[in-house]
């Protein structure tokens, strides 16, 4: 996949590199600054969606880029990059899932065990 002769992957990666950390910092501010939660709620949601979408897009375009240039797969740094991308995609989803379950469980216990 290319835009004007440029591979799409390096272009998409920049979105993940920008939106991922900004989204994480916004989420930390949301959690740590209760007085700002009203103002941070929608930006945090938008950044989370942008970050997630851009990470997935970077992963998919990276796979496509590697298929179009198989000689790159022989380089050790490309293998490291690919392994870290897979870890980022899989650990991020798993971490979010675990945290949602633990948070929901704690909330349910706080409400229902006190009745």
pLDDT given at position 105: 85
Cβ-count burial of 16 within 10 angstroms (0-12 exposed, 13-18 middle, 19+ buried)? Answer: buried
**34-65 pLDDT, tens per residue?**
999 999 999 999 999 999 899 999 999 999 99
Q: What is the pTM of this model?
A: 0.77
Query: What is the extent of the structural domain holding 7?
Result: 2-112
Give strand pairing partners of 6: 3
Reported as a pLDDT band with limits 50, 70 and 90, residue 78 is very high
Q: Is 30:36 a contact under the CB 8 Å cutoff?
A: yes
CB atoms within 10 A of CB 46: 13
Q: What is the number of structural domains in the chain?
A: 1
């Amino acid at each position: 996949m290319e835009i004007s002769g440029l591979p799409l992957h390096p272009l998409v990666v920049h979105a993940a590199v920008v939106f991922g950390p900004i989204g994480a910092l916004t989420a930390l501010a949301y959690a740590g600054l209760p007085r700002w939660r009203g103002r941070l709620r929608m930006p945090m949601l938008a950044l989370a969606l942008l970050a997630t979408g851009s990470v997935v897009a970077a992963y998919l375009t990276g796979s496509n880029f590697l298929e179009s240039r198989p000689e790159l797969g022989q380089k050790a740094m490309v293998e490291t990059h690919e392994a870290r991308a897979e870890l980022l995609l899989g650990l991020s989803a798993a971490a979010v899932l675990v945290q949602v379950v633990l948070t929901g469980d704690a909330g349910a216990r706080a409400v229902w065990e006190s009745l």
